[in-house]
Structure 1
Amino acid sequence: MSFRIALAATGLFVLAACGAPPPDQRPGSPSAAAPRPLLTADQIETGQPRPPAPPEPAPAEGAPLPAYAPDPGMVRLQILLDRSRFSPGVIDGLGGENTRQAIAAWRKAEGLGEGDAADADLLQRLAAADAGRIMTRYVLTAADVAGPFSPPAGADLAATARAGTNYTSARERLAERFHMTEPLLQGLNPGVDFRRPGQTIVVPAVTNAPLAGVARIVVDKTERSARAYDASGTLLAFYPATIGSSERPAPSGTVTVTGVAPEPDYTYDPERVSYDRGDARIVVPAGPNNPVGSVWIDLSRDTYGIHGSPDPSKIGKTASNGCVRLTNWDAEQLAAGVKPGVTVRFI
């Protein structure tokens, strides 16, 4: 793979215009009332995670999926973990393995023993360490809604290279900016027209403070995580990760960071990589939905790196081609704290 820094072009993205509302949906009629959000900011500010429910059997093939029902307490917990640099991955209000691992890592780092329970005591301790408001309001700008936008990437790498790797919509851009899923963003802001600047939306009050002083990184292939430590051995950050696959495993042993490439392009070179995407050399341009996301941390093992992802919801849940894949925002935070020579140990 080769990488270069590239700036995305700018442009204007316009969705299909909405028609005029039918007579029974005109302003003032009962059916024209503003849609209710799935959650309110006040519910999240004071929320407590629901007790874990017993696992439900998988729905039968063809059966409708359960309705999306985020837990306000879980949203609050995930935001606090994200701000503490113990990342739950993407904020979705549903929890899951990434969130449980972040809880366990935070408890251990704080000397609170083992366990991954999302309980009131955990929230109280996290909130005591970070008293800022959980949710905030944000006004959409012209830059937020401007393109260019690209179609969703498919399996055809050459087609992705031709179509571009920009965000697919302003909603996707905003969801990633605030470390959340698109369904949660839409659920918090029902009826919002994300193509129109000037509107006020409700979003998580995440922070993007850069990491500093990373001396070593430990990548746990079994746990699917990456931990960053300073020179004294203090754990600075925890990130869920997608790490290789059974067919194309991640390296073993210790390597070093050789450099960082923001906004990298991606080069598929069949003469240098072992996975088969055809015989032609393909260069995919830079963009947040590039196969390696928004940043590449180059490692001393040829063709391997720690990088971002075009699909943050799949981190820790799918396989990679041997590299370590994080959400774009986690990869950017880690990249800000490393320099050439930082050791990366795979266990």
Structure 2
Amino acid sequence: MGPQPVRAWGTGPDAAQAAEPASPPAPVAAAGQDANDPAILTGKSGVLRAQVLLLRAHYSSGEIDALAGRNLAKAVRGFQKAHGIEPSGKLDAATWALLNKDAAPVLVEYTLTAGDVAGPYAPTPEQPADKAKMARLVYEDIGEMLGERFNSKPALIRALNPEAEMVAGTRLVVPYTRPAEQLPKAASLVVDKSDGVLQLLDADDRVYAQFPASTGSSRFPLPIGDWKITTVVRDPDYRYDPDLLVNQPKGAKPAMLPPGPNGPVGLVWMGIDKKHYGIHGTPEPADISREQSSGCVRLTNFAAQAVASAVAVGTPVHFRE
């Protein structure tokens, strides 16, 4: 929740489209990784494999962290419902059989570039007034950037590369998430408050993608009803008003905050036809569906960018209990 962003960098579904990037080379499977073995179904490697395959099937458990939890169970249930499997939320044999039809490696090699290392990176100030003085609310360090690029908890990237030096030319082991970045166009969106998920539906009202979401608070509840997308803004700046938000610093005053991944609405704002409400990213991906929002629908930046690629101005949005 909060005032609409006022400026966008880049393009979105309501603006001219940028040229399609060149296709990347085929991924190179990282050697010696249990998560790349289809026979590994349990333990941290099994959870990691499931999280990556679910994301690539468009049923996200949020940040990939190799840890089982409620977001993973939600993703499994969504995937099971979509494929006619009893929605237990457990990784049973039938679920694994379908997931393992995706034969691409789960963990691949990625070589750090000079641009990756250079950033820019900077600490994010705590106070809104200090944030407003920044030219851009950039990633704090290369670990945070890599985490968001590969939809992973930074601690997982470190655990996969314990001896790696973060210098150009270093080869890292990372989750292969690129196939999840582009979604088919959605006929509508559903935000389910009770499940804490955002779902994409096709023209036949079938769910084909799902992401965990934070969906309001007692002070600013999710506005149940039928709405539509009115704007899609990539890399938005933000009119900060503490009166419209929860848990704000005492004495905070309105301010204009610059864009960036660590801004209050992250890398994407999708406004709806209810003032101050929208669907957006976040600077705190680990909190998605675990902490309340200020009325809006909050996704990880990775998820918000994927959803933005699948909607357009006018796409219906249904908020449900």
What is the TM-score normalised by the length of structure 1? 0.80
Tell me how far 1:270 sits from its aligned partner. 5.8
Q: Report if the CA contact (8 A) 2:109-2:173 is conserved.
A: yes
What does 1:1-347 align with in structure 2 at a 5 Å threshold? Answer: 1-3=3-5, 4-6=7-9, 41-46=32-37, 47-50=40-43, 71-128=44-101, 130-154=102-126, 156-163=127-134, 164-194=136-166, 196-207=167-178, 208-269=180-241, 273=244, 278=251, 280-347=253-320
Write the distance in 2 (CA, Å) between the matches of 1:48 and 1:227: 27
What SS does the corresponding residue of 1:242 show, helix, strand or coil? coil
Tell me how far 1:279 sits from its aligned partner. 6.3
Mark the structure with the bigger radius of gyration: 1
Write the distance in 2 (CA, Å) between the matches of 1:265 and 1:102: 31
Task: Tell me which amino acid in the other structure corresponds to 1:210.
Answer: Q
Tell me how far 1:259 sits from its aligned partner. 1.3
**Root-mean-square deviation (CA), in Å?**
1.9
Q: List alignment gaps of at least 5 residues for structure 2.
A: 11-29
Which runs of 4 or more aligned residues in structure 1 lie more than 6 Å from their structure 2 counterparts after TM superposition? none
Write the distance in 2 (CA, Å) between the matches of 1:74 and 1:41: 17
What SS does the corresponding residue of 2:78 show, helix, strand or coil? helix
Write the distance in 2 (CA, Å) between the matches of 1:99 and 1:143: 33
In the alignment of these two chains, the number of paired residues is: 292
Write the distance in 2 (CA, Å) between the matches of 1:297 and 1:267: 15
Write the distance in 1 (CA, Å) between the matches of 2:252 and 2:108: 49
Distance 1:184 1:270, change over 3 A: closer
Distance 1:314 1:232, change over 3 A: same
Q: Report if the CA contact (8 A) 2:128-2:252 is conserved.
A: no
Q: Higher RCO, 1 or 2 (CA under 8 Å, sep at least 6)?
A: 2
Task: Tell me which amino acid in the other structure corresponds to 1:5.
Answer: A
Write the distance in 1 (CA, Å) between the matches of 2:137 and 2:319: 30
Write the distance in 2 (CA, Å) between the matches of 1:209 and 1:168: 23
Write the distance in 1 (CA, Å) between the matches of 2:293 and 2:139: 21
Tell me how far 1:42 sits from its aligned partner. 2.3
Distance 1:132 1:312, change over 3 A: same
Identity of aligned residues (%): 36
Tell me how far 1:255 sits from its aligned partner. 0.9
Write the distance in 1 (CA, Å) between the matches of 2:72 and 2:31: 22
What SS does the corresponding residue of 1:228 show, helix, strand or coil? strand
Tell me how far 1:158 sits from its aligned partner. 1.6
Task: Tell me which amino acid in the other structure corresponds to 2:256.
Answer: V
Distance 1:304 1:41, change over 3 A: farther
Tell me how far 1:142 sits from its aligned partner. 0.7
Q: Report if the CA contact (8 A) 2:35-2:107 is conserved.
A: yes
Aligned residue for 1:61?
none
Q: Report if the CA contact (8 A) 1:294-1:328 is conserved.
A: yes
Q: Report if the CA contact (8 A) 2:124-2:140 is conserved.
A: yes
Q: Report if the CA contact (8 A) 1:212-1:338 is conserved.
A: no
